[in-house]
Amino acid sequence: MQTQKYMRSRALSNKGGRPSKYNNKTLSKVMDYLEHFEEEGQVIPTVAGLAVHLDVNRDTLYAWAQDEDKAEFSDILGKLKSLQEIVLVNNGLSGDFNSVITKMMLTKHGYSDKVDVVTDGESINNTKSNADLAREIMFAMQTAVNKGEDGND
């Protein structure tokens, strides 16, 4: 009976699977990657590149970042993304990186090429067809011409 209780409590406390590779050596390897990613043939630091460097799955990195016992890893992924952003911006501006790819990748860092047009604080929603807009422009132009012919200002 005592043995069954012990086995049941062990089963409940053990999540199963392999032991985590997360330790001080892992953290040292992370810093090594962030400082020397180019020496590994990488143009920018990436989560995938870090995963390969550590010999773990990307999902493992994201799980470590969510784990309260590994809070520093969330900061590490933040640092990786900041370093990635800096490399993209600098090489994009210098012309060393393809501008289309750089622009696409920077959307993951909050950059956008979108322009919001507003007037008096209200969004402008154009629901008219191009033909309707063309008719309105032609009408406005004709009205202006007629006013000029009548001598009315």
pLDDT tens readout for residues 124-141? 666 777 777 788 888 888
- Domains contained in the chain, number: 1
Q: What percent of the chain has pLDDT over 70?
A: 77
pLDDT-based confidence at residue 116 (cuts at 50, 70, 90): low
Question: Does residue 122 sit within a domain?
Answer: no
Instruction: In whole angstroms, give the CA distance from residue 59 to residue 74.
Output: 13
Model confidence over 62-76: pLDDT tens digits?
999 999 889 899 999
Q: Centre a 10 Å sphere on the Cβ of residue 85 and count the other Cβ atoms it contains.
A: 17
Task: Report the pLDDT averaged over residues 99-127.
Answer: 78
Question: Does residue 69 sit within a domain?
Answer: yes
Query: Max Cα separation, the chain?
Result: 109
pLDDT of residue 148: 72
pLDDT of residue 18: 72
Q: How far is CA 10 from CA 34, 42, 56, 137, in A?
A: 39, 44, 27, 79
pTM over 0.85: no
Question: Does residue 135 sit within a domain?
Answer: no
pLDDT of residue 4: 53
Domain carrying residue 38: 2-109
Question: Does residue 121 sit within a domain?
Answer: no
Question: Does residue 81 sit within a domain?
Answer: yes
pLDDT of residue 151: 59
Question: Does residue 145 sit within a domain?
Answer: no
pLDDT of residue 8: 47
Instruction: In whole angstroms, give the CA distance from residue 147 to residue 68.
Output: 74
Question: Does residue 131 sit within a domain?
Answer: no
Q: Is a pLDDT exceeding 80 seen at residue 51? A: yes
Question: Does residue 29 sit within a domain?
Answer: yes
**What DSSP character marks residue 143?**
H
Burial of residue 80 (number of CB atoms within 10 Å: 0-12, 13-18, 19+): buried
Instruction: Flag the least confident range among 46-50, 59-63, 111-115.
Output: 111-115
